[in-house]
Amino acid sequence: MSTQEKETSNSLYRQWQILSRLSTGKWLGTRELQETLEREGIDISLRTIQRDLNQIAQRFPIESNKTVPQGWRWRSDAPIQSLPHMTSSQAVTFMMVEEHLKHLLPPSLISEMNPWFDLAKRSLSTQNNVRQWINRVRIVPATQPVIPPLVERQAQQSIYEGLLQDKQIECIYRSRGHLGEEKSYILNPLGLVQKGAIIYLICTRLDKSDVQTFALHRFKSATVLDTRAMHPVDFDIDSYIDSGALGFRVDFSKPTENIELKLIMHEDDAQYFTESQLSKNQKVEALNDQLYQISAVVPFTSQLVWWLRSFGKKLVRIEPVEVFNAVHEVES
């Protein structure tokens, strides 16, 4: 490839990246566009961006708000054929991401994805059969639904950006309880997990090495620091979840332990466990014509205790004894 051909290829790629980030509603400033492209590894000056946009405007229905610095967007009357192409399957995926995962994405990524969300809506506007899929799929909580607690928006944005950039976070956090004592921490963000209506930050504190969970709605404030976050050498978010750490400990003076749980119940009730297993090593055994025993190795957490209580009198026996005592609130 000649030098001129290479320059043309780079220019086309750069202009396509610019074009794909414009939306039909919100104005996108040239400086914001520059920051977005730099995150994608495209080193570009404001002058070059402005020149590219002026060239693009000669061939595509985009418009400027004539301010300084300029903002750009697709014209409201731009035909769908002029916009970057998106297949119906891609459009459905983007629509479902916006509906169900948007609250788990940092603002900087959301602003980059907004043009794609907008394009997805426009792409599906003429495809009735595909658009109906969005109206026919819902996610329903398995437990009693509750209204999510209010999260301080600025703190949430800082936490997400700290996680995205792998930077430490300085915060003020309110402890659980009616007194709600506020403390200042420097945290190393490791991950986010949504459990029911609550989002948790998985992290370590600067003054402690053990991995902890902080509920997002208890952050009063948060600021991203310039210092790089420190990670435990062997930390893996999936292993952390599988350990039962997010099920919360029954005894906070002890780490979560795995136990061999044994439940005895009648055949009709045991049928549930043949469809939805407690673990991969679960066993279902017939003890006699009426009773069945379900055994599985699971983390001993307060979540397990609450779940077992929901069975009420259907559980004829629970082993080991410490689980029985926790379910029935017997002092050991």
pLDDT score, position 3: 63
Please give the residue that has the higher pLDDT: either 58 or 39: 58
147: in domain: no
Neighbours of 193 (CB within 10 A): 16
Give yes or no for residue 81 having a pLDDT over 60.
no
| The pLDDT value given to residue 9 | 61
Specify which residues 72 forms β-bridges with. Answer: 28, 64
Residues 55 and 105 in one domain: no
- The pLDDT confidence band at residue 140, using thresholds 50, 70 and 90, is confident
Structure tokens at 134: 């969005």
State which of 54, 76, 98 marks the end of a domain.
76
pLDDT of residue 8: 58
List of residues 6+ apart from 322 with CB closer than 8 A: 259, 300, 332
Task: Give pTM, 2 decimals.
Answer: 0.66
Looking at the predicted structure, is the pLDDT value of residue 170 above 60? yes
Residues 137-142, mean pLDDT to the nearest whole number: 80
Which position has the higher pLDDT, 126 or 118? 118
**pLDDT at residue 251, rounded to an integer:** 66
Confidence of residue 57 (pLDDT cuts 50, 70, 90): confident
Domain identity same for 306 and 264? yes
Query: Could you tell me which of 108, 56, 58 has the C-alpha nearest to residue 84?
Result: 56
What pLDDT, on a 0 to 100 scale, did the predictor assign at position 247? 65
Tokens 């566009």 found at: 33
Range among 62-71, 78-87, 196-205 rated most confident: 196-205
Sign of CA dihedral 318, 323, 326, 329: positive
Which CATH number covers residue 188? 2.30.30
Q: For residue 184, what pLDDT is reported?
A: 95
**Residues 203/211, Cβ–Cβ less than 8 Å:** yes
Q: What would the DSSP string read from start to end of 237-275?
A: HHHHHHTTGGG-BSSTTS---EEEEEEEEEHHHHHHHHH
Is the predicted pLDDT of residue 126 greater than 80, yes or no?
Answer: no
* Confidence grade of residue 122 (pLDDT, cut at 50, 70, 90): confident
Residue 270, domain CATH? 3.30.70
Q: Which of 123-132, 187-196, 244-253 shows the lowest mean pLDDT across its residues? A: 244-253
The pLDDT value recorded for residue 220 is 95
What pLDDT is stored for residue 250 in this prediction? 63
- pLDDT (tens digit, 9 = 90+) per residue, 191-229? 999 988 889 999 999 999 899 999 999 999 999 999 999
Residues 235 and 192 in one domain: yes
Q: 83 in a domain, yes or no?
A: no
Average pLDDT, the chain: 85
> Which residue has better confidence, 95 or 263?
263
Domain end: 242, 268, 300, which one?
Answer: 242
pLDDT digits (tens, 9 = 90+) for 246-297: 766 666 667 778 899 999 999 999 988 888 899 889 999 999 989 999 999 9
- Say yes or no: 70 and 31 in one domain: yes
Which residue bears the tokens 């999936």?
Answer: 238
Round to whole Å and give the CA distance between 127 and 310: 44
On whether both 29 and 108 belong to a single domain, the answer is no
The answer to whether residues 38 and 97 belong to one domain is no
Side chain identity at 3, as an amino acid letter? Answer: T
Claim to verify: residue 265 and residue 323 sit in the same structural domain: yes
**DSSP characters over 206-239:** TT--SEEEEEGGGEEEEEEEEEEPP--TT--HHH
Asked whether residue 252 is domain-assigned, the answer is no
Domain count for the chain: 4
The pLDDT of residue 212 is 92
Residues 238 and 265 in one domain: no
Whether residue 281 lies inside any domain: the answer is yes
Q: Are residues 208 and 176 in the same domain?
A: yes
Higher-pLDDT residue of 327, 4:
327
CATH code, domain carrying 13: 1.10.10.10
| Digit-coded pLDDT (tens) for 107-121 | 877 877 777 787 788
**Residue 316: inside a domain:** yes
Phi and psi at residue 182, to the nearest 5°: -100, 135
The answer to whether the Cα torsion of 101, 105, 111, 116 is positive or negative is negative
- Tell me if 218 is assigned to some domain: yes
Residue 144 inside a domain? The answer is: no
Top pLDDT among 205 and 179 is at 205
Do 118 and 195 sit in the same domain of this protein? no
The range of the structural domain enclosing residue 207 comes to 153-242
Q: Evaluate if residue 60 carries a pLDDT over 90.
A: no
- Domain assignment present for 93: yes
Residues 57, 109: one domain?
no
Sequence letter at residue 55: Q
| Closest-CA residue to 198 (of 213, 212, 216, 177) | 216
